[in-house]
Amino acid sequence: MMGAEHRIRIVAAKSGGLALLAAVVLAVGGLHAAPARSAPAANSAFVRVNQVGYPSAASKRAYLLSSAAETGAVFSVKNSAGATVFSAPVGASLGSWSNSFKSVYALDFDGVSAAGSYTISVSGPVAATSPSFRIDTGANVYATPLANALSF
């Protein structure tokens, strides 16, 4: 009966160096790689707003999702010129959204009613800025989504 070493020599002679390497790896028991470890993620936060917009006379709420506690944070609503039109402290956490976002906060800004384009900025342990959103009459805010839904 042929030994493993003799079989490796035969394979190497027929197939070249790559086959020799493969045969040696198989004879030794395969490759064992250490599991990859990812670096710990930095703290992150996101402000989620109504992408359609908010009617002027309606209540207005956005959400801050954060990977860390936002104790002492303040949020500001800024108009399209960058001027702050409303500011308030971030309240108590509502709980967890996921393993990545352990703290969720409601950001209420009912006091903003002038028609226009706005963003929300959070300054605190983990800063965040929202995408822009509109405040306008209900008819203006919902006209485009309604037309899109009806034409589908």
DSSP 6-21: HHHHHHHHHH-HHHHH
How would DSSP label each residue in 87-123? Answer: EEE-----B-SSSS--EEEEEE-TT--SSEEEEEEEE
Write out the two tokens for 141.
């805010």
Q: What is the pLDDT of residues 8-59, one digit of tens each?
A: 444 444 444 444 334 433 444 443 444 444 444 578 999 999 999 999 999 9
103 and 74 fall within a common domain: yes
Regarding whether 54 and 17 lie in a shared domain, the answer is: no
Containing domain of residue 12, as a range?
A: 1-30
* The total number of structural domains that make up the chain: 2
Residue that is written with structure tokens 């309604």 in the block: 146
The answer to whether 49 touches 118, Cβ cutoff 8 Å, is no
Give the residue carrying structure tokens 């395969």. 30
- Is there a single domain that holds both residue 3 and residue 73? no
Say which range, 13-27, 33-47, 88-102, 125-139, has the weakest mean pLDDT.
13-27
The tokens of 42 are what? 């930095």
For residue 38, is it within any domain? no
Bridge partners (DSSP) listed for residue 48: 63
Task: Please state, in angstroms and rounded to a whole number, the distance separating the CA atoms of residues 148 and 140.
Answer: 14
61 within domain boundaries: yes
Give a yes or no: residue 103 inside a domain: yes
Residue 94 in contact with residue 105, Cβ under 8 Å? yes
Q: What pLDDT shows up at residue 104? A: 97
Cα(30)–Cα(10) distance, rounded to whole angstroms?
20
What's 115's DSSP letter?
A: S
Residues 2 and 48: their CA atoms lie apart, in Å, by 69
**20 and 85 co-located in one domain:** no
Decide which of 68 and 97 is more confident.
68
